[in-house]
C-alpha cells in the first residue's frame, strides 16, 4: 500500500513521531562507516597484513579489504535493523528505522532489499543522500523504495 506524502505527514502527526534531521542521519552514517572500516581493517591486517610485501600483494590486500568491507556492511545493517531497528550509529545518535505501514521495525524482505540497494548506492560513488535532498521526508531511494522512514527515537 503506497502512502502519499500528505498521508505520511498525517500519520506522523497523529502518532507524535518526528523525522530525523539530515545531520542526525549523516552522523549515524559516518559513525557506522568508521566502525565498520576499523573493524574490517583490523581483521584484514591481522590475517593478511604480514603477506603484504610487494605491489601485487598490496593490490590483493585492497581487493580483499573492499570485498570484506561491503560484505560486512551489508550483514551489519541487516542484522542490526532486523533485531534492533537501528544500527550502532543510529542508536548513538538516537534515531531508528520504521516501516510506514506498521510504524514498527520493517519486515525481513524490506530490510534485505534496503541493505542491498544501500550497498549498491555506496559502491557507486556514495550517492546515498543525493535523492534524500529532493524528498520531503529526507528519504534516500532505498528508504523510499522500501516504504521506510527514519525517525527520532526519543
Predicted confidence pLDDT, tens digits, the chain (154 residues): 577 778 888 888 888 889 888 899 889 999 999 999 999 988 887 776 666 778 887 888 888 888 999 999 999 999 999 999 999 999 999 999 998 888 888 999 999 999 998 888 877 766 666 666 677 777 887 888 888 888 887 6
pLDDT score of 98: 92
pLDDT score of 76: 96
Count the neighbouring beta carbons within 10 Å of the beta carbon of residue 85. 20
DSSP labels, 38-88: HHHHHHHHHHHGGG--SHHHHHHHHHHHHHHHHHHHHHHHHHHHHHHSS-H
pLDDT score of 88: 96
Amino acid at each position: 500500500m503506497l502512502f502519499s506524502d500528505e498521508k505520511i505527514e498525517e500519520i506522523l502527526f497523529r502518532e507524535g513521531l518526528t523525522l530525523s534531521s539530515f545531520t542526525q542521519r549523516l552522523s549515524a552514517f559516518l559513525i557506522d562507516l568508521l566502525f565498520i572500516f576499523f573493524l574490517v581493517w583490523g581483521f584484514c591486517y591481522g590475517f593478511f597484513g604480514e603477506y603484504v610485501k610487494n605491489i601485487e600483494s598490496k593490490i590483493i590486500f585492497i581487493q580483499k579489504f573492499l570485498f570484506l568491507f561491503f560484505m560486512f556492511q551489508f550483514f551489519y545493517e541487516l542484522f542490526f535493523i532486523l533485531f534492533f531497528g537501528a544500527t550502532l550509529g543510529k542508536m548513538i545518535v538516537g534515531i531508528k528505522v520504521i516501516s510506514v505501514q506498521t510504524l514498527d521495525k520493517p519486515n525481513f524482505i524490506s530490510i534485505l532489499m534496503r541493505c542491498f540497494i544501500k550497498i549498491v548506492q555506496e559502491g557507486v560513488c556514495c550517492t546515498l543522500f543525493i535523492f534524500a535532498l529532493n524528498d520531503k521526508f529526507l528519504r534516500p531511494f532505498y528508504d523510499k523504495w522500501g516504504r521506510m522512514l527514519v525517525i527520532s527515537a526519543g
